[in-house]
Amino acid sequence: MISYAECSARERLALLLDGGSFHEWLPPSERVMSPHLAQLGVPSAFDDGVAVGRAMLDGRSVFVAAQEGAFMGGGVGEVHGAKLVGLMQRALRDRPAAVLLLAESGGVRLHEANAGLIAVSEVMRALLDVRAAGIPVLVLIGGANGCFGGMGIVARCADHIVMSDVGRLAMSGPEVIEASHGVDEFDSRDRALVWRTTGGKHRWLTGDCDALVEDDVAAFRAAAIAAIDVSKPLTLEALEQEHALLTKRLHALDTTDTTDRDEAALLWSALGIADARQVPELSVEAVRALRTA
């Protein structure tokens, strides 16, 4: 068993895809790098923190991108975003069996300001174009930096999300919530709280991810292979169902008195999970069995 969380982006590509099948576009030797970081005195990376290319997965042709969380928290800068967009647009032309996004990102790379924000919005548009063309987009989340900010939105735009229990998925990160709403609202140093509210088990129980796996590269590979043909058509009906689900969740909890209560466990109870307080202690396999629909 090899920890997915502890692998670098390139190690994940080497281990998750069919051996030796990854062909990279704009590899490090092309030196397509950030035009902004050097001006700020910040070192750049030769690949701007993301590797994109084509590969085989269980003998099927796929396109794949892997974000490197150790470089600027996987932040999406102008070049990083353009590489993701280019991959998606090429998918429209070449029609691979699926597009895989090995996401690990804190969202927009704030150093690059508007260029980074625009890049993330372009990634969303490109991803939705790929989905609309009937090519499944699978997002894999299990890196130590989680998947937050704009990349959290990108992930939820996809057909299918695979998460490990150590993976995290959300919009605003814990520190951002604490900075804007205070420590009483969210204590970002409370790791158990962070995982109860953004971690893979929580996302599985609320239906925000489609597969929950162990922190194991082989488990991610198996889940990606199983999902390669899972295409969710973008329809008005599906969107309305999603809205209905979110509305129901919003009203699942009584919000009149929120002091000192474990809101994650209360939400799981409201969703019909028995003995919800025990969820953080359960194994991945046990939590997987808790979701009925």
Chain positions 147 to 186 lying near other proteins, rule: CB under 8 A, are none
Q: Does 111 bind other proteins (CB under 8 A)?
A: no
| Residues 164, 6: Cα–Cα separation, whole Å | 12
- Which three-class secondary structure state does DSSP give residue 100? strand
First to last CA, the chain: 29
Q: Does 113 bind other proteins (CB under 8 A)?
A: no
Q: Which CB sits closer to other proteins, 42 or 289?
A: 42
Q: Which of 46, 180, 230, 244 binds other proteins (CB under 8 A)?
A: 46
Q: Which CB sits closer to other proteins, 76 or 130?
A: 76
Q: Please give the structure tokens belonging to residue 2.
A: 């090899």
Q: Which of 10, 60, 249, 291 binds other proteins (CB under 8 A)?
A: 10
Q: Which CB sits closer to other proteins, 70 or 265?
A: 70
Task: Report, in Å, the least distance between residue 68 CB and other proteins.
Answer: 6
Q: Which CB sits closer to other proteins, 9 or 161?
A: 9
Q: Which CB sits closer to other proteins, 148 or 268?
A: 148
Q: Does 20 bind other proteins (CB under 8 A)?
A: no
Enclosing H/E stretch for 78: helix 78-94
Q: Does 68 bind other proteins (CB under 8 A)?
A: yes
Which residues pair with residue 54 across a beta bridge? Answer: 23, 63
Q: Please give the structure tokens belonging to residue 47.
A: 């690949």
Q: Which CB sits closer to other proteins, 68 or 159?
A: 68
Q: Which of 43, 93, 260, 281 binds other proteins (CB under 8 A)?
A: 43
Strand order in the sheet with 137-141: 23-25, 50-57, 60-67, 98-103, 137-141, 160-164, 211-213
| Residues 268, 264: Cα–Cα separation, whole Å | 6
The answer to whether 209 and 161 have CB atoms below 8 angstroms apart is yes
Q: Please give the structure tokens belonging to residue 96.
A: 């691979």
Q: Which CB sits closer to other proteins, 29 or 292?
A: 29
Q: Which CB sits closer to other proteins, 33 or 82?
A: 33
Task: Report, in Å, the least distance between residue 221 CB and other proteins.
Answer: 22
Task: Report, in Å, the least distance between residue 89 CB and other proteins.
Answer: 25
Q: Does 41 bind other proteins (CB under 8 A)?
A: yes
Interface region with other proteins, contact rule CB under 8 A, candidates 22-30, 119-127, 253-261, 274-282:
22-30
Q: 3-state secondary structure string, 203-269?
A: HHHCCCCCEEECCCHHHHHHHHHHCCCCCCCCCHHHHHHHHHHHHHHHCCCCCCCCCCCCHHHHHHH
> In whole angstroms, how far apart are CA 212 and each of 144, 153, 168, 254?
16, 19, 12, 28
Interface region with other proteins, contact rule CB under 8 A, candidates 35-43, 82-90, 163-171, 279-287:
35-43
Q: Does 70 bind other proteins (CB under 8 A)?
A: yes
| Residues 209, 198: Cα–Cα separation, whole Å | 11
Q: Does 289 bind other proteins (CB under 8 A)?
A: no
Report DSSP state, residue 281. Answer: G
| Alpha-carbon 14 to chain mean position | 19
Task: Report, in Å, the least distance between residue 27 CB and other proteins.
Answer: 7
Chain contacts with other proteins (rule: CB under 8 A): 8, 10, 27-29, 38, 41-47, 68, 70-71
